[in-house]
Structure 1
Amino acid sequence: MFLYGQIVAGDGGKLDYSATPFADAAANGLKTDTYAGLFQASGGDANQRWTRVDSAIGPTDLAWSDWAVRYAAPAEIFDTR
């Protein structure tokens, strides 16, 4: 499963990177408010678990552009249009 979405603060407002390890990058315009993650399911229906395969926090480019090849995932799941 590919997840692409907007990161928001706990109160639903804009994410503040200033107290995170990404503070310097965000201050220099190198972080956005988006998240991209690739997850893989395992186990049966009753015991299904999702494991994070790869992710990008606040990417400024298509950080997932090679994930289809790298992780043998269907390319069509990465269409964010």
Structure 2
Amino acid sequence: MKQNIHPQNHEVIFYDVNSGYKFLTHSTKTSSETMEWEDGKLYPVIKVEVSSDTHPFYTGRQKFNEKGGRVEQFKKRYNM
């Protein structure tokens, strides 16, 4: 087997921005943004819009908060 061809595994927090659900797992992705986990350590955080907590396949229902259309989101983001 060839050595040093596999990507590095890191412990990261995946954070669902829609529901606030977060879970700690291993991933080859990393981030410069960090968050403190329940054990008191800082881990890189990867923000996702859909996770098992909000996806209708896993929940059996739509769980997204009404965020509005693209224009409303833009105005909200830039205080217009």
Q: Is TM more than 0.5 here?
A: no
TM-score in terms of structure 2 length: 0.23
More helix by share: 1
How does the TM-score come out when normalised to structure 1? 0.22
- Structure label with greater radius of gyration: 2
